[in-house]
Amino acid sequence: MPITRRTFLGSSALALAGMATTGKVEGLPARPQNQNNPNRPTVVSSRNGLRGVAKAYELMLQQQADPLDAIIAGVNIQELDPEDQSVGYGGLPNADGVVQLDASCMHGPTKRAGSVASLEGIKTPSLVAKAVMDYTDHIMMVGPDAKQFALDMGFKEENLLTEESRQDWLRWKARLNPRDNWLDHDDDVMIETPTGTINMNGVDANGNISSVTTTSGLAWKIPGRVGDSPIIGTGQYCDNEVGAAGSTGRGEANIKVCGAFLTVEFMRGGMSPQEACLETLKRAVAMTENRLLDEKGYPIFSLNFYAISKDGRFGGATMYQNPTEYLEEFPERGSYAVANADGARLEPFQFVYDNTKIPAYTKERMIRRLDSLRAAKK
């Protein structure tokens, strides 16, 4: 029999699924998906997308909106919110104090995609990525030329650096070297090197799927650094025959495993969205260099995956269960956002390692973040 693209990809997914856990190629039986599942529409997202999944679900249910239009409207909420320092307006800047944004999207029914990276001065990079998809024969545009494209398409150039993000950048800069000419200030605020992203994936009532990821990237990054978010197959990926997936967290770890693509391929091979997210995290650990592992071999970074299948099933997984004291005060921190017929809500992450396995370095960062959250509540 001739080998078609579909049979090749399907067999590849089965091989990858076996190798992820055993190191050997093992076939997995394909699980048929129910295309009449009542759990559609369904939208899944990172935790900061709780308002967004509610909006996207409403648009698909009430207005029969295209799934990509719906989820982009969902992530626009965060992109335009100056209080969210993870994306868009108010995102944390690079080492030079400049906000550089990345985004990508995919449209399942048409098999098209668009992406922008190192985009400056435009609040909604997700919409610019969609414009690349809609109006050009390209998929990715970067830097000043991506900005010029956005301006040519009618987007408005604006200052993205809010005063809050500027102050956080100044605090970081002041603490780089105790002997420099920058004075420390606001000692009660502990500045981390945070990452911030929103990924959202949706399937409509007809089983059509789309995905989008948008971010301001790693705070204080070297100018020009690009993470996983704008790279098709890493920050997000969708296949209208199977499902969609995306990620937040350490982009460099995800890039090496093409995590979003791999998660969808695991689902193609028969795994549930939840199982697929966990297996992709295990693959990321297997591909981690020694300098990012503690003495027991556990990774010292965070990475999360979110996935949705064509029949409306969903899942979310993270590397570590949060410390008990963390979850007691901020239980929502160990969760992701979902919206379907049961409403918009936060669901608890599944995790690869429980909170007894957290490396000392990672736990120290979590506790510092906990202190920052406590300070913000006062």
197 is catalytic: yes
Tell me the backbone φ, ψ of residue 252, rounded to 5 degrees.
-60, -35
Spatial separation of the C-alpha atoms in residues 341 and 262, rounded to whole Å: 28
Residue 266 to residue 364: CA distance in whole angstroms: 33
Element of type H or E holding 345: strand 343-348
Tokens of 282: 């295990």
Residues 6 or more apart in contact with residue 187 via CB below 8 angstroms = none
**CA proximity to 300, closest of 226, 350, 250, 367:** 250
Directed axis angle between helix 273-286 and helix 259-268, to 10°?
130
- At 211, which helix (H) or strand (E)? strand 209-215
The three state secondary structure string of 79-140 is: HCCCCCCCCCCCCCCCCCCCCCEEEEEEECCCCEEEEEEEECCCCCHHHHHHHHHHHCCCCE
Q: 3-state class of 275 per DSSP? A: helix
CB 106 within 8 A of CB 205: no
The two three-digit tokens of residue 177, written as one number: 């070297």
> What letter does residue 310 receive in the DSSP assignment?
T
The helix (run of H) or strand (run of E) holding residue 243 is: strand 243-249
Catalytic residue among 42, 162, 195, 197: 197
* Partners of residue 315 on adjacent β-strands: 307
Instruction: Catalogue the active-site residues.
Output: 197
